[in-house]
Structure 1
């Protein structure tokens, strides 16, 4: 019989399997432990140590705290919801910067700036899509502008005028894509979906190209695209506004353009969800292919990809 070190991942996984075999009452708890252990084993197979995993998590947490400290404004946050910080996006930006020779204390400011730009853009999207009081809408617009200004200030502190120009260009492009999406200016559904995708991926794409760190750029873009598709599906399922489903209705149910999204029949709503599910499946396939081609992905990102590509079907029901 093969022997394991008492503190090894394989030994613990073996014991977890024995628990499942002999004690089904702890099945749910054990399943969670086993998932974590299997991720650890896969990381070791790829040469990613536990120390490296912790390092990525520590750096991500450090940058998240930097973002929070910069964007906190007591008056704004007393009146509007605090913005969400996408830690997956931070991790991907970190991966991009570690292909450079830029010191950590500098690239942390650069990543923070890119995140502030994205947060500002996301806040403006929420203003367009949610029913709010006039005061809430005005404060949300103000918050978006405030965070957008912070990126400029953050980069000015380290004298990075080149990245200021790159991110400003990204903002310009994204606003053009947003106009196209919200006005339904695309000639067909495929063009609409491409513009929709670019809204969420242009900042990270321009950032990576700026530093010539494009090794994982297609994986990054597809991961963000899949997350956005899943979020839009969830919004629709929960009765919230979804610009994606407005677009699907516009191009796939042209005879129903004048009917509000949530006044559609159950049959039409199901039809739109099926179309969205097909785009999700397509994105999932591309992401899995990109992750298989990639080498040396941090285990925490590999785990997120597995979660997103295997645990989404409940959203479509």
Structure 2
């Protein structure tokens, strides 16, 4: 196994997800669903590391990808133009993907995963809603919310199939990657609601957000490398994870 094999496995999972949600009209107006390859990698990490993997687990990984696609579509809604045809179809695409994921799991009789993902979606949405609330949160609170949004559904997938030993890598890496992205957005002036909230929280701590973000990134980077040094996962996966966080 090498980086090429890992990337091919991710692309194959992506293709399988697209096949299950392909709809001509939605494709025309909203394009392919948005999928995060870093999240897909962690869905496949147990398989890539040689864990027991069967058709049911593979279909479950596909459905988690579909749920991520559904939630990503809803995230794309522009509140200032929510009545346009494209925006309405974006809402419909998210709902359509949600229906497809329930259908696949129901057909397989996979009640445990349905339960876990339903709970995970609720938890994830609770954290996403926080950016619209007036409550004053600390930067650590925002880091937690970002982590939940990126990792909650994969954590639930791990719990159903006994892959919890990969959670430490997954949580640390996905939070690190997202904070690196937020730092770049901040440096390039790409505003978002979450960044505005984090700027306010940083100001209350008496430090610029850029400095505090970089400090958190450095801590997570050191922590992840410590996990990699002490882990028995395959060397190829360690190298891939290092490439993820350095890109």
TM-score w.r.t. structure 1 length?
0.68
Q: Does 1:294 align with 2:212?
A: no
Contact 2:70 2:98 in 1 (8 A): yes
In 2: Cα distance, 1:176 partner to 1:285 partner: 30
In 2: Cα distance, 1:91 partner to 1:308 partner: 10
Q: Which aligned pairs between 1:1-317 and structure 2 lie closer than 5 A?
A: 49=1, 56-96=6-46, 101-103=52-54, 105-127=55-77, 132=81, 134-135=83-84, 136-183=86-133, 185=135, 187-253=137-203, 271-297=208-234, 299=236, 301-311=237-247
Contact 2:33 2:73 in 1 (8 A): yes
RMSD: 2.8
In 1: Cα distance, 2:161 partner to 2:188 partner: 40
Q: Judging changes above 3 Å, is the alpha-carbon distance between structure 1 residues 276 and 243 closer, same or farther for their aligned structure 2 residues?
A: farther
Contact 2:127 2:145 in 1 (8 A): yes
Q: Secondary structure at the match of 1:127?
A: coil
Q: Judging changes above 3 Å, is the alpha-carbon distance between structure 1 residues 215 and 180 closer, same or farther for their aligned structure 2 residues?
A: same
Q: Which runs of 5+ in 2 are unaligned?
A: none
Q: Secondary structure at the match of 1:134?
A: coil
In the TM superposition, residue 119 of structure 1 has moved relative to its aligned partner by 1.7
Contact 1:99 1:213 in 2 (8 A): no
In the TM superposition, residue 56 of structure 1 has moved relative to its aligned partner by 4.0
CA deviation profile, 1:29-61 (whole Å, cap 9, x unmatched): xxxxxxxxxxxxxxxxxxxx55xx665444333
CA deviation profile, 1:166-189 (whole Å, cap 9, x unmatched): 111100111111122332535422
Contact 2:64 2:157 in 1 (8 A): yes
Bigger relative CO (Cα 8 Å, ≥ 6 apart): 2
In 1: Cα distance, 2:153 partner to 2:136 partner: 21
Structure 1 stretches (4+) deviating beyond 6 angstroms?
none
Q: Secondary structure at the match of 2:214?
A: helix
Q: Judging changes above 3 Å, is the alpha-carbon distance between structure 1 residues 83 and 201 closer, same or farther for their aligned structure 2 residues?
A: same
Q: Judging changes above 3 Å, is the alpha-carbon distance between structure 1 residues 298 and 209 closer, same or farther for their aligned structure 2 residues?
A: farther
Q: Secondary structure at the match of 2:208?
A: helix
Q: Judging changes above 3 Å, is the alpha-carbon distance between structure 1 residues 59 and 100 closer, same or farther for their aligned structure 2 residues?
A: same
Q: Secondary structure at the match of 1:295?
A: coil
Q: Judging changes above 3 Å, is the alpha-carbon distance between structure 1 residues 146 and 216 closer, same or farther for their aligned structure 2 residues?
A: same
CA deviation profile, 1:47-81 (whole Å, cap 9, x unmatched): xx55xx66544433322111111122221222224
In 1: Cα distance, 2:31 partner to 2:188 partner: 19
Higher alpha-carbon deviation: 139-148 or 93-102: 93-102
In 2: Cα distance, 1:132 partner to 1:283 partner: 38
In 2: Cα distance, 1:83 partner to 1:238 partner: 26
In 1: Cα distance, 2:152 partner to 2:198 partner: 22
